[in-house]
Amino acid sequence: MRLSTAISTRLQHQHTALQGIIQGLTADRLKEHPNPGKWSPFENIAHLAAYQPVFLDRIDRIRKEESPIFERYVAEQDPHFPEFLDKTPSALIQAIDERGAEIAHQLSGWDEVSLRRTGRHQKYGLLTMAQWSEFYLLHEAHHLFVIFMLVQDLRSGGEK
């Protein structure tokens, strides 16, 4: 047994929705905050790009260690997050595409035994690698939805 078709397909393609979601908006528009005190579409994109290396590290640690423990990822506490905020939207999307392909490729090679390897999330407990894959995808999907809603707010002039 490999990863489910649903997970494999989403790993390969889910992130590619981003380009269409933000199409036609300039970098300056993407950096606007339609909801004061919340991240802009750009900051959400930077977060997706910043989390991918963290997830790749988690994959590697789960492969090599017995049930490693992972703290909750908080972008504001990530010393590398500001580097992502300095990139352009197109550079972030390229990085997301490249690392997304790397994540999909790495996980596609895991067999049933490997997919049962575990890592412990500080809040959500012990998760198999298959569950970590789902967790990653749902996290990504959440931010894609948030970006979609923020972009629609920007396009509509912020009307509710």
Entry field: residues in the chain: 160
CA distances from 58 to 95, 130, 155 (A): 18, 13, 37
Q: Of 17, 5, 13, 3, give the one whose Cα is nearest residue 106.
A: 3
CATH superfamily, with its number, for domain 5-155: dinb family like domain (1.20.120.450)
pLDDT recorded at residue 160: 45
- Mean per-residue pLDDT for 12-35? 97
User: Can you give the pTM of this predicted structure?
Assistant: 0.95
User: In which residue are the tokens 């970006």 written?
Assistant: 147
When the pLDDT of each residue in the chain is averaged and rounded to a whole number, the result is 95
Per-residue model confidence as pLDDT tens digits over 24-43: 999 999 999 999 999 999 99
Q: Is the pLDDT of residue 45 over 70?
A: yes
CA 69 to chain centre: 19
| Domain ranges (residues) in the chain | 5-155
